[in-house]
Amino acid sequence: MSAPLKKRSVEMKGNSSDDSDNYSSENEEGEEYTGQEEIQVDFEGRSPIDSDFHGIKQLLQQLFLKAHVNLSELTELLISQNTVGSVVKQSDTDEIDGDADDDEDDDPNDVFGVTSIVNLTDKQSVECVSQLRTLLSELCAEHGTERCNTLVQSLLKDDTKPLGLIINERFVNIPPQIAVPLLQSLSKEIRKACEKKLPFDFAYYAFICKLHKVDGKVQSKKKGKNTVPEDQVIWSNPEEEIIDQEADFRFEFCVKNESDSGLGGHWLEEDVAMTPYRRVLLLSADKLEPTINRIQESLAQ
């Protein structure tokens, strides 16, 4: 059963164009369109409800790609947690005031982002939780350092040091400023859940971050553009670069052989191909709130 509706005032205005808008095309009058058209939209955080199922699952699919995880069950788990977690929706004001003719293709139940947490220590008998534990263990053993792998394996074996996987996923065109109230709300909800003796008292948090790299130096075709730096890293969620700076351990792996349209491929003629990666971060629980404060300060500049 879904949680009761609750709203969080985030009201971030952002570019509502999608990835498909970032390539050249011609409109009905024959004028060339090169993307980056900005549309002002207000967003807000709400508790996930049953009708958000497909939207949340779509976001999980763009994060986990072809990983062996039961995403339907994971989506249901996130919805069922009536104490923590938010989805990003278009505000009611926009839905009411919007032009019906212009928005006839828009679904008021569209989910633009999800910020929540999964307890990887609790409910190990649940299939998706067991799969997430196996995935983390195998990926760390293959790509992590010996110290990182030692920590991960000990956390997975020690029930007295719970590990929480924070899901922080949204569409690429949603402004990063929205992450601040969502992460602040999640942190507050975790504290309240702990006060109620619910299983959210974590020793460490894990994040799975999306990033892209430009391998080698590539000269832009567009006049006046500088050479792209070698091994430039572009974060899908910019705030996660700060989390990376505060993380105790990290490891990454390439996912170029899996379908991932976000930031990938050539959008415009002068764009360069970027290779998609996932970077897993491990952050001690006492660092979460200071890290969120750093994110707030950075995005306010």
Per residue in 153-167, pLDDT (tens digit) is 999 999 999 999 999
Q: How many CB atoms lie within 10 A of CB 169?
A: 24
pTM of model > 0.75: yes
Q: Does residue 165 contact residue 206 with C-beta atoms inside 8 Å?
A: yes
24 in a structural domain: no
274 in a structural domain: yes
pLDDT, the chain, mean: 81
Confidence of residue 83 (pLDDT cuts 50, 70, 90): confident
139 in a structural domain: yes
88 in a structural domain: yes
Q: What pLDDT score does 229 carry?
A: 56
2 in a structural domain: no
Number of domains in the chain: 1
Which is more confident, 300 or 231? 300
Looking up tokens 């679904």 gives 107
The residue-averaged pLDDT of 35-61 equals 84
26 in a structural domain: no
The string of DSSP letters for 234-290 reads: EESSTHHHHHHHH-SEEEEEE-TTS---TT-S-SSTT----EEEEEEEEEEGGGHHH
28 in a structural domain: no
23 in a structural domain: no
As a three-state string, the secondary structure of 99-117 is CCCCCCCCCCCCCCEEEEE
Residue-number span of the structural domain to which 126 is assigned:
7-16+37-300
Q: Does residue 109 contact residue 52 with C-beta atoms inside 8 Å?
A: yes
Closest CA to 164 of 134, 207, 130, 124: 207
